[in-house]
Structure 1
Amino acid sequence: MTCCETMSLRNVTSDLLRRQIRENRALDFQRHYHVTDPFIKRLGLEAELQGHSGCVNCLEWNERGDLLASGSDDQHAIIWDPFRHTKLITMHTGHAANIFSVKFLPHSEDRILITGAADTKVHVHDLTAKETTHMFSDHTNRVKRIATAPMWPNTFWSAAEDGVIRKSMTQSSSAGVHTFCDKQKSIPDGAGQYYVAGHLPVKLPDYNNRLRVLVATYVTFSPDGTELLVNMGGEQVYLFDLTFKQRPYTFLLPKKCHTSSEVQNGKTTNGVSNGIHLPASRLRLAKVSSDLPPHLEWIKQQANDAFARQQWTQAIQLYSLGIHEAGHNAMLYGNRAAAYMKRKWDGDLYDALRDCLKALSLNPAHLKAHFRLVRCLFELKYIAEALECLDDFKGKFPEQAHSSACDALDRDIKAALFSKTDSSDDKKGNSSIRFHNFSRKESIPEDEIVLRERSFDYKHRYCGHCNTTTDIKEANFFGSKGQYIVSGSDDGSFFIWDKETTNLVRILQGDESIVNCLQPHPSYCFLATSGIDPVVRIWSPRPESENENCRVVEDMEGAAQANQKRMNADPLEVMLLNMGYRISGLSSRGTEGSDDEESSESQVQCRSS
């Protein structure tokens, strides 16, 4: 090769490399900025795609985002051009029941589509030939989810209500199936990790008594794979951090704490979660600054004003904004805990307990946080722990030991402790939450109990929607970095939260009955939704010239409050609501009556600081 040829080859290679870098940077820039706050505020309905004759149960974008697949109760799959709002292919899948999942097979040039349905079957279709090429009949119950992986061509996984995950391989001449996970077989040590919201095991008996079923209706990973999002049927949406793993919170008194040499990363050497410690030696020495920058001081004051007006949700959102910017300010955590305790939505008391513990870790001398911690433990029915925590509080703050608030709480705790009814439900000792304390323990294998006890707690909780009616309701990350969380709801709306602050930022009416599916576009500010209506709806930022967006739910707090009542309503009333009846007087257990803590307090106040 001559010198000129070598130089020419280098130039071509360099030009190709520069072009590739430029294209990648342009794509990264586009994806990074494709979902922003101004776009979210302008999000509105762009089009309704008509073609199905039944509920649309699943949606899926192809990798490039120029095709959208949908599956329906009508047993058909449709491929759409979402930008021209046209139907490209309608295919009868051969299923005999509702389709619950559709997936494009990677590296098939969007030619192969996989469907899973309530007939227990998984079908593979060639969209070009419009024919079904493979049928898998290995499941024994409804197939609810299909999954693929880019690095595994000709391979997919199916999950069904038979409790089995199967790995299947399809090629031009043969097909195979392999049982990936079977509920009858033990999970090898280290092969599985459980995640659970720390308060849910405690609430299970109450939920069971009210015929309220807890089941995960959708799980998905964040774009970078470091977070897990779970839409919990009968409850809220939870975000779990897969890199920083938090044990469910418990409370141990200083006298029962292990020495510092026995504690590593919040866990004792035997692996048991030890919650937080309140060292007596540091309590009086701690001098923690509560000063905030002027703009955060203004936010805190606005939150305090909302608290004084008993606008608990608004106060929580404002405190959350402050915490997002000043995560080491104990006062903000303590104040938000007070707002959670007043609002009392499902999960609020546990979030309040978490905030109290965080405030005490930042400032062990935080009097109000310590007293609120006692009340949280009492309300969560950790009666013995609440009494010990109250005794510890009296020792740390002797000037408060005989206040009216302290005496009243002491009487309530002791009455509950010696009550036969409460003592039967009381958790024993200072152990972490034990799943095998419940009546169904005999049906749970020992290795399953171990996995459950090793579970990790959530990082964030998103509430306001309602997920009690359908078992396919999705929640998803929205944005290239998952900056927003979206979820459907039983009230026909879909909800959008800021991921980090957990604040509700927008609600849009997406269906006449229920929104189940939400699939964000891979690179544009596009969102596809579906539900009970036989249509697919496409959402995008609307032009600023469109002054009115009739799909926007303006009273977000009112909608969230109504959904809390709906979640706690009698199942018969919920059924009537879903049939279109209006039920007056629905009440939430979390909002009945008022917490008279404030009126009973003298020096110790639950009011914000």
Structure 2
Amino acid sequence: MSPKIKKRRNILQLLREREINDQIRTKYALKSEISNKCITKLSLLTELEGHEGCVNCLEWNENGSVLASASDDFQVILWDPFLQKKKTTIKTLHRGNIFTVKFLPNCHDDIVATGAGDWFSHTYNVTTGKQITACTCARGRVKRIAVANDTPHVYWSASEDGTIRQHDMRISHQCLSENTKNVLVFLRTHLGTTAEAKCLAINQMRPEQLAIGANDPYVRLYDRRMINSLTSVKLTPTAPPNDGPVDLPLIFYRLVEAVEDNLFAKTNNITDSSVQYYIPGHIYLTELQAQQKNQSIGTTYLNFSPDGRELLVNLGGEHIYLFDLINPAEHSYYAIPNIVNISRDDGEGSSISLPNESTPVVHSALPEEIEKLKLEANFFFEQQEYTTAIRLYNQAINIYQSSVLFSNRAAAYIKRKWEGDLYAALRDCVTALKLDPHHMKAFFRMTVCLFELGKLSESQMYLEHFKLKFPSYKSSPAYKTLSANILFANEKIKKESATNPNNDVNETLHNERKDDQQNDFELNQKSKQEECWRKKAKDYYHRYYGHCNTSTDIKEANFFGSQGQYIVAGSDDGLFFVWDKNTENNLLVLKGDSSIVNCLQAHPSEFMLATSGIDNVVKLWTPLPDDIVNEHEVKNFSSTAMENQRRMIVDPFDIAIRNFGFSVSDTRDRRDPPEPGQFYSCRTS
């Protein structure tokens, strides 16, 4: 008897059945995997009109039947995305811009939580529009709210007073009471009184994991099971929920804030084993220089991948990074001594390979398809079209791992020199040397990267090692040029040290900054524990660039596609970008706003994307038929990306004025309590 053959339904059958069977939605979502061709056909479906201010946040309900949006007009609108019309409008009691809205899970989509610039977080009944709860504990703008799908009636909030608070609607709550324990993480305990929490996310596959982004480049991943809540201290008067904070003199709030911060700081509820830090390696290596240049890099958004194994982070003033949570990457700079089998002066590295290290495989010949891609990339490299060359190397590396491909891509990064390129080149050189320890060009390019990254002594040491390992190459022009550059840099440091005999250049600059901090009452003083966590920070393994993120601090980056195989993010130029997650290649650039695209939220099961920004509308995007021209598409990614690189290094205030088209007249201190009814302009980061 022949085995029973299981009848499988094709995509057309699933499409028909989902109209009458809601349970088929998940199967359809898994079946209808989005392809690159579908992505390139993405275009505007409709604009949803109804708000009277910037739309700062979007949120789908669990099954995607409702889209919630919230705005500077203090309203939450619930939309039917398929009928393309309003379902209901909630006129909230907020007195400041609403920055975040979330459906509370397992509440039949009948409760939403909001956070706003008036320092309040609220919950509302969707059916009646009535306020259910109001929390006035925060002393800064509430920027993000997160929920866990397996935890009903609970939400977490991140506010610019440096706190992450846990709110449980089932527990009676009296704001700022000595008996209220709702502070889960207080960043100022270890970062000083200028620390601000900007965003947070809960890993839906592992709800104990809580990721936090702040006004610095470090991303913090906490295990909630290992954290005890801190007690709120009753030091500020509690205002009626509908009236906003009590209008008291600024000096009183400053005094209260200083006392309360000091009390919180005495209670450290974070252990070494409960948190892991992440930061892109080049930012970690050049953090001091960035501080000296007064560069401000902070996290504007973060989110876990659908499978919970990755963390996507959008850094303001920088790029978008993907971190591997299962196999976190070590910083490439510290992997070099073991790769080249040489000890450093600080004792790191060894003359033997690491224990259990796999034997490197040397690839002498590339498959025909990969060789063709490599030659095409080499051609564009010679034409100085480095972005196109990198794109082709990306495509080849995604298919086949080879030392020559990594080394060639490193050369393109070194030539292009966009923000983060030199460290990306260093990473490629380290990977190439893992695959082939005798790859001469990879070794030399690694030394070039170290020099360009300001690691002068290391570049000199490895260049000497290079000369011993490859003696025939020491007469080459490239070797002589690098050697001369290192010699010149050393002579320059000696001259500057003679001018400041007690300090080298870095120490002098560091002391100048230290004096500035002391004059500012040491607001940025960090704890020893914080420094320890930073030293153990892990590196990224994918980077996405081309957009610009300097003008707003709510700019999102999200996963898109049935398996989260694409990355989407907005930009200060009114565009939004779509990248392939694995190759890092850009697939599509679309015009999404007249000024800035901030929010992008993918439908949970359909091929639909919702976006919003400075315009007062919500836009829905779906694929176009093949015979229709996409009039929203921007064709030349390279020139667009290059222009955004320039935008990121100019004065962000000038960019903000240019983008918004009006002057920012609000000069209040960010810790000055907002006045009831105050209408905020979109704040710059």
Same fold (TM over 0.5): yes
Kept in 2, the 8 Å contact 1:511–1:533? The answer is yes
Quote the sequence identity (%): 43
Question: Are residues 243 and 337 of structure 1, via their aligned partners in 2, closer, same or farther at CA, if it must alter by over 3 Å?
Answer: same
Question: 2: CA distance between counterparts of 1:247 and 1:265?
Answer: 17
CA-to-aligned-CA distance 1:243-281 (integer Å, 9 cap, x gap): 111111223262316558994578xxxxxxxxxx9xxxx
Aligned match of 1:219: 302
1:182 positional shift:
1.6
Q: Aligned to 2:143, what secondary structure does the other structure show?
A: strand
CA contact (8 A) 2:323 2:540 kept: yes
* 1:172-187 superposed matches below 5 A: 178-183=182-187, 184=189, 185-186=267-268, 187=270
Which of 419, 430, 448 is residue 492 of structure 2 equivalent to?
Answer: 419
2:114 matched to 1:115? yes
Q: Output aligned runs, 1:44-193, within 5 Å.
A: 44-171=43-170, 178-183=182-187, 184=189, 185-186=267-268, 187-193=270-276
For the Cα contact (< 8 Å) 1:34–1:524, is it kept in 2?
no
Report what 2:403 is aligned to: 330
Of 624, 629, 636, the match for 1:555:
636
**CA contact under 8 A between 1:290 and 1:331: conserved in structure 2?**
no
* Deviation for aligned residue 1:340: 0.3
Question: Matched residues in 1 for 2:653 and 2:87: separation?
Answer: 42
| Aligned: 1:521 with 2:603 | yes
* Alignment partner of 1:570 is 2:641: no
Aligned with 2:371 (options 260, 282, 297): 297
Give the conservation status (yes or no) of the 8 Å contact 2:341–2:351.
no
CA distance in 2, matches of 1:113, 1:446: 40
Q: 1:232 to 1:220 in 2, by over 3 A?
A: same
- Please tell me whether residue 356 in structure 1 is matched to residue 441 in structure 2: no
Distance in 2 of aligned mates of 1:64 and 1:228: 23
Aligned-partner Cα distance in 2 for 1:514–1:494: 9
TM-score, structure 2 as length reference: 0.74
- Determine the C-alpha separation between the residues in 2 that align with 1:569 and 1:129: 48
* Higher alpha-carbon deviation: 375-384 or 417-426: 417-426
441-450 or 190-199, larger mean C-alpha shift: 441-450
Counterpart of 2:632, as a letter, is R
SS at match of 1:491: coil
Contact (CA 8 Å) 2:450, 2:458: kept in 1 or not? Answer: yes
Matches of 1:473 and 1:139, distance apart in 2:
22
Match of 1:584 in 2: none
Which residue of the partner structure matches residue 547 of structure 2?
A: 465
Residue 359 to residue 512, structure 1, CA distance change in 2 (3 Å) = same
Q: Per the alignment, do residues 371 and 260 of structure 1 end up closer, same or farther by CA in structure 2, a change over 3 Å counting?
A: closer
- Equivalent position of 1:254 in the other structure: 341
Instruction: Give me the whole-angstrom Cα distance separating, in 2, the residues matched to 1:90 and 1:387.
Output: 65
Counterpart of 1:478? 560
The structure 1 residue matched to 2:456, chosen from 383, 403, 427, is: 383
Secondary structure of the equivalent of 2:377? helix
How far, CA to CA, are the matches of 2:30 and 2:367 in structure 1? Answer: 33
**Contact 1:34–1:523 under 8 Å retained in 2:** no
TM-aligned CA deviation for residue 171 of structure 1:
3.4
Give the AA of the match of 1:472.
Answer: I
**CA distance in structure 2 between the partners assigned to 1:397 and 1:77 by the alignment:** 66
Q: What residue number does 1:231 align with?
A: 314
* 1: CA distance, partners of 2:636 / 2:649: 20
Residues 152 and 218 of structure 1, relative CA distance in 2, 3 Å threshold = same
For residue 290 of structure 1, report the CA deviation from its aligned partner: 3.1
Q: Report what 1:603 is aligned to.
A: none
**Is 1:116–1:143's contact at 8 Å kept on the other side of the alignment?**
yes
> Contact 1:497 / 1:506 at 8 angstroms: preserved in 2?
yes
Measured in 1, the distance between the counterparts of 2:384 and 2:430 equals: 24
Equivalent residue for 2:472, pick from 399, 417, 440 = 399
Q: Residue 172 of structure 1: CA displacement?
A: 9.4
Aligned length in residues:
536
1:384 corresponds to which letter in structure 2? Answer: S
**Residues 287 and 237 of structure 1: CA distance in aligned 2, closer, same or farther (over 3 Å):** closer
State the Cα distance separating 1:122 from its structure 2 match: 0.5
Which sections of structure 2, spanning at least 5 residues, go unmatched? 1-16, 175-179, 190-266, 498-502, 663-685
Other-structure match for 1:244: 327
Q: Deviations over 1:489-535 (max 9, x none)?
A: 00000000000000011000000000000000000111000000010
Distance 2:438 2:147 in 1: 52
